[in-house]
Structure 1
């Protein structure tokens, strides 16, 4: 009685009854069947569409009893025996919605069930008695298959989302389905009998914990004492639910604590209800937890495991490493347990009798020695090809550099060794470029800057040879488009050496920082995905990060200082400008005159002109008198006096 998750990581399943085989599906789409008796691999099945339709779940068919028929001939008897043995099938759910039935006896595909699902099959379960198969998928439906015909018998929608797991009751009358919540279905009416709360995440395993007695005469609605277990993704609790007739079963009655989410669950019970239920849970972290508990109702506190089993390699403590446990199942004696550990490609199956009085057990195993004893070494003959001098060998490496450089070095390796012995001086740049298979003559014939592809090649050569002249020629480029194109064509293995060279240049002259920032920006923009995959990126780029951070902090202080200096300079300039007093032009730019004032101004001007003319004549007479005889001046004064008298006389007469 085992339950595994519906995901690809947990595609392992022991055969029911006394476990004789272990079926495991790897990521390459191959399904392998291993013997639990230590005889190694028995079958390997590679589906025709294993790359596009990978295996998503596995389920073994229940063991069948031989049919009792009338006596027949020997030939018929052998055919019937073979027919009974062919019922030992393995159901394989795929990611495209089809189900493959693989025959262990024949070692070939027996049938293919299609047309029921159009999305990934998450779980497949066999009925104990009827020739039926139940499957659930991401398309929100549960399908009941008829095996003799391979057609869909019934299909119904069970959830609003995807269905991740199924489990059939021991009597074959009920079916559990789970997505986020859990539903208990009546298979006769296809109606929901109970609903349970479930988990916060997607449920990955379901297992019935108690077996209903076959001679129980109670009706379907009078089920009492029926328990089942459920585990979910990213949940470290294995909940236990109880099905009651009163309907008060929406919450879990108890839970078991784990170190990680459950990947494989197996339990064993006895006929006596007073005996504890033994539970083995394999978690994602590779540990196995054993529990012993009597299911007798509600329990507030989560139960801790009675024993935790872990497997590690032999050797010193520093060299030892943990070996993950893939699956575990109880043997028929309920005291020993079968454990499958190591990898899915080659699991190691071992029967262990555990002492549950110890809280933690670490089994030390030498996996290399075990594999060498069980695996058969295949003898192969390897023939080394003959490589002539005219053949150009392409090897993995940096494009444009190691690929072409390899052939040149293979051809002239002896001549280079002789030349190094004869000359103590280093090679010139031209000789290095010739050895690296670069057409130097074309570069010399074309004046100006080289193309971007040659820039990338030159940069790789400069990084590997640590030639400052080549690096200066490339890294002193100021064009942004040329820098981006060069970084885009730069090979992946040269990214880290380039960052180290840029870091060295940033620590040198401050003028180089303006150019190096452009290269750093282009590298982080175009190669961010590669840099994020490096596990040791922090120690490699820690110095560069500290260098950039110190410069950024200095830049903030300089910007603040620049703002203060700018404020002071503007204030000083404003004060100096205020001290310089410029000459003010007092002439009016605009004069407004009214119309009435024009005539008055004209009369005043005329009067002023007449007065000025009279004054001018008087001034001329005075000058003549001053210049003339005194007699004339006397006569003139007399006449003026007489004139004034006359005028006064006239004025009196007028009055």
Structure 2
């Protein structure tokens, strides 16, 4: 329940208390609409406020004041805020003193879900399993008992101060002195967030649940043993604030989550079979002055309301720009739309009127005077001082020509932590990308260590989204997630919602582990192929180196050599031919002499 927004009007409607996600307590004066007090409790980030209620406490009076005013024996009542925290402690803040006056400890070991008080009774608080009754005067636990297996989310102290309503998904009526369950009411499907008592002879109370778009009325009469609701009030959204006033006709005011107010008027007398519809629905809008534009009318949400007789005190706007107004809806209109000026414009106009900033008045005749320039006095008294300063000296004095010699320092981890918290709170993608895209392990570790506990779960959600993205972004996001788990392991183990947040990452890890073995085999085969290709390329290069890389032939020398060879061969052949012819003639003569037959004529 960290970072829960809770608010309430005081018993007389004079003050309005609000505690937001930042853990700060703010108190407004409803009559003037001024933020009168703002208080930051200790450990407001690690142990923020989870619930609050108004308590009327008595101040002790000194003996001197008793002599002067004998009628004030027990002191005067002051408005006090009782705050339940995430650590299980209760804080009492006094509006008169403007500070924390008491801290109640030892009652709860877990977060306080609700605090209840009624005039003439003690202070009650509850966690998931226990109800604690506190003695504010002694700052101690008066009684404590276990409710059961169901989680308790809301309490209501009845007017007799001996009965208490404790609600989860069901509502139980407890007897405080005996700490026994007297009666149980059933009918809600989700956890109850609000219980409001309707005083009268036939006592009734109204409840609102977390996801129910209706209010349920229940009877506390001992004669009626009905466990179901006797009436229901229909709404357009979930109720966040309920207030009522019981006269002849019970008037119920409910503020929804969308910022709309519903007014119901009904006399509860027995069981009502049909759901009751609102008599009047009130909405507030701001006129921007652009009647022709599509966004001419902007809605202003109603945060809380309090029924005061025939009037309704409402708080509308936001936690920063909050306005208060008393309205009295009358007439036959079922839908009442109020057009109001935007509170932000009112604050801007007030700042312009009350601003203490004085702007220096300067004329157009401004002269630049340097300590090195000589001031020339004119002869006449009516003329101003004149100076002639070169442009180069002006630029030197303005440091426009100086070069920055210092190098840019790396970003500091504390500034990065503040920037990251700002980005997570505003959900600005540019800020988150500028921080989360840094892959320095030391910077990441120091930044994560300086983060507040409320920013851990939103940071994990952003990192889970980045891990499912591209390879480089996923690699950097894994470094951040590793640092978050190492630094905030204790908080993550105690938070049951982290498992659902990290389930996409666990599924992604299991999928990639299933692909790890095939990818490893494929990588091994590719490495073998690459090695073989490299070896073959080395062999081809070695073979090419054994042959001649370049052959050169001189064309001129080869032609001359061939001619010389031809001439030499020609002379040798002619001489040889002549020798052969002489030999042949000698052989023929010898053959004739020996009487060898010559050629035979085949024609004979």
Give yes or no for TM over 0.5.
yes
Q: What is the distance in 1 between the residues matched to 2:262 and 2:284?
A: 12
Q: Is the 8 A contact 1:206 1:229 kept in 2?
A: yes
Q: CA deviation at 1:20?
A: 0.5
Please state if 1:196 is matched with 2:185.
yes
Q: How does 1:121-132 map to 2 (within 5 A)?
A: 121-130=112-121, 132=122
Q: Is the 8 A contact 1:86 1:103 kept in 2?
A: no
Q: What is the distance in 2 between the residues matched to 1:386 and 1:54?
A: 49
Q: What is the distance in 1 between the residues matched to 2:340 and 2:156?
A: 35
| Correspondent of 2:98 among 107, 126, 140 | 107
Please state if 1:134 is matched with 2:110.
no
Please state if 1:170 is matched with 2:119.
no
Q: Is the 8 A contact 2:66 2:73 kept in 1?
A: no
SS in 2 for 1:149: coil
- Of structures 1 and 2, the larger Rg is shown by 1
Q: CA deviation at 1:81?
A: 6.0
SS in 2 for 1:372: helix
SS in 2 for 1:358: coil
Distance 1:237 1:528, change over 3 A: farther
Q: Could you list the runs of 5+ residues in structure 1 that have no partner in the other structure?
A: 1-5, 213-224, 398-486, 491-518, 530-655
Distance 1:161 1:523, change over 3 A: farther
Q: What is the distance in 2 between the residues matched to 1:7 and 1:253?
A: 35
Q: What is the distance in 1 between the residues matched to 2:235 and 2:2?
A: 19
Q: Is the 8 A contact 1:137 1:163 kept in 2?
A: yes
Q: Is the 8 A contact 1:133 1:144 kept in 2?
A: yes
Hey, what does 2:340 align to over in structure 1?
365
Hey, what does 1:293 align to over in structure 2?
266
Q: What is the distance in 2 between the residues matched to 1:304 and 1:19?
A: 27
Hey, what does 1:153 align to over in structure 2?
142
| Correspondent of 1:279 among 228, 237, 252 | 252
Q: How does 1:626-637 map to 2 (within 5 A)?
A: none
Hey, what does 1:58 align to over in structure 2?
52
Q: What is the distance in 1 between the residues matched to 2:211 and 2:85?
A: 24
Hey, what does 1:229 align to over in structure 2?
206
Superposed CA RMSD = 3.6
Q: Is the 8 A contact 2:56 2:77 kept in 1?
A: no
Hey, what does 1:410 align to over in structure 2?
none
Hey, what does 2:313 align to over in structure 1?
338
Q: What is the distance in 2 between the residues matched to 1:522 and 1:395?
A: 29
Hey, what does 1:49 align to over in structure 2?
43
Q: CA deviation at 1:366?
A: 1.2
Q: What is the distance in 2 between the residues matched to 1:38 and 1:379?
A: 22
Please state if 1:186 is matched with 2:159.
no
Q: What is the distance in 2 between the residues matched to 1:394 and 1:291?
A: 65
User: TM-score, length-normalised on structure 1?
Assistant: 0.53
Hey, what does 2:228 align to over in structure 1?
251
Q: How many residues align?
A: 382
SS in 1 for 2:75: helix
Q: Could you list the runs of 5+ residues in structure 2 that have no partner in the other structure?
A: 360-397, 412-436, 441-467, 479-604
Q: How does 1:116-515 map to 2 (within 5 A)?
A: 116-130=107-121, 132-138=122-128, 140-212=129-201, 225-246=202-223, 248-270=225-247, 275-315=248-288, 316=291, 318-331=295-308, 334-355=309-330, 357-367=332-342, 368-372=344-348, 389-390=403-404
Q: CA deviation at 1:386?
A: 8.3
Hey, what does 2:483 align to over in structure 1?
none
Render the CA deviation track for 1:603-645: whole Å, top value 9, x for unaligned: xxxxxxxxxxxxxxxxxxxxxxxxxxxxxxxxxxxxxxxxxxx
Q: What is the distance in 2 between the residues matched to 1:386 and 1:240?
A: 75
Q: CA deviation at 1:345?
A: 2.9
**Which one has a larger percent helix, Structure 1 or Structure 2?**
1
Hey, what does 1:37 align to over in structure 2?
31
Hey, what does 1:482 align to over in structure 2?
none
User: TM-score, length-normalised on structure 2?
Assistant: 0.57
Q: What is the distance in 2 between the residues matched to 1:134 and 1:363?
A: 39
Distance 1:49 1:82, change over 3 A: farther
Q: Is the 8 A contact 1:196 1:251 kept in 2?
A: yes
Q: What is the distance in 1 between the residues matched to 2:278 and 2:126?
A: 32
Q: CA deviation at 1:226?
A: 1.8
Q: CA deviation at 1:11?
A: 1.0
> Which structure has the higher relative contact order (CA within 8 Å, separation 6+)?
1
Q: CA deviation at 1:370?
A: 2.9
Q: What is the distance in 2 between the residues matched to 1:129 and 1:520?
A: 60
Hey, what does 1:540 align to over in structure 2?
none
SS in 2 for 1:88: strand
Q: Is the 8 A contact 1:126 1:134 kept in 2?
A: yes
SS in 2 for 1:327: strand
SS in 2 for 1:61: strand
Q: Is the 8 A contact 1:26 1:345 kept in 2?
A: no
Q: What is the distance in 1 between the residues matched to 2:254 and 2:323?
A: 18
Q: Is the 8 A contact 2:5 2:20 kept in 1?
A: no
